[in-house]
Chain A
Amino acid sequence: DAGVIQSPRHEVTEMGQEVTLRCKPISGHDYLFWYRQTMMRGLELLIYFNNNVPIDDSGMPEDRFSAKMPNASFSTLKIQPSEPRDSAVYFCVNGGRENEQFFGPGTRLTVL
Chain B
Amino acid sequence: GQSLEQPSEVTAVEGAIVQINCTYQTSGFYGLSWYQQHDGGAPTFLSYNALDGLEETGRFSSFLSRSDSYGYLLLQELQMKDSASYFCAVRDRSEEGSTLGRLYFGRGTQLTVWP
Please name all residues of chain A whose beta carbon is closer than 8 Å to the beta carbon of B41 when the two chains form the complex: 105
Question: With A98-B31, A98-B91 in contact, is A103–B108 under 8 Å at CB?
Answer: no
Is the C-beta of B69 less than 8 angstroms from some C-beta in chain A? no
A35–B44 CA distance with the chains assembled, in angstroms = 14
Query: How many residues on chain B are close to A (CB under 8 Å)?
Result: 26
Contact across chains for A101 and B108 when beta carbons are under 8 A apart: no
Please name all residues of chain B whose beta carbon is closer than 8 Å to the beta carbon of A71 when the two chains form the complex: none
Contact across chains for A103 and B102 when beta carbons are under 8 A apart: no
- Of A42, A93, A98, which contacts B107 at CB under 8 A? A42
A105 CB to closest chain B CB (Å) equals 5
Contact across chains for B31 and A99 when beta carbons are under 8 A apart: yes
Interface centre among B30, B91, B103, B108 (most CB of A within 10 A): B103
Interface centre among B33, B91, B100, B106 (most CB of A within 10 A): B100
Segment of A12-20, A48-56, A72-80 engaged in the interface with chain B: A48-56
Query: How many residues on chain A are close to B (CB under 8 Å)?
Result: 21
Is the C-beta of B45 less than 8 angstroms from some C-beta in chain A? yes
Please name all residues of chain A whose beta carbon is closer than 8 Å to the beta carbon of B107 when the two chains form the complex: 42
- Of A50, A55, A101, which contacts B33 at CB under 8 A? A101
Contact across chains for A42 and B105 when beta carbons are under 8 A apart: yes
Please name all residues of chain A whose beta carbon is closer than 8 Å to the beta carbon of B42 when the two chains form the complex: 91, 103-106
* Closest CB pairs A-B (n = 3): A99-B48, A103-B42, A43-B105
28 A-B residue pairs with Cβ-Cβ distance under 8 Å, sorted by A, are A33-B103, A35-B105, A42-B108, A43-B108, A45-B102, A45-B104, A48-B103, A50-B94, A50-B99, A56-B101, A56-B102, A91-B42, A91-B43, A98-B30, A98-B31, A98-B48, A98-B50, A98-B100, A99-B31, A99-B45, A99-B48, A100-B45, A101-B33, A101-B89, A101-B103, A103-B43, A103-B44, A106-B42
Q: Which residues of A contact B (CB under 8 A)?
A: 31, 33, 35, 42-43, 45, 48, 50, 55-56, 91, 93, 98-106
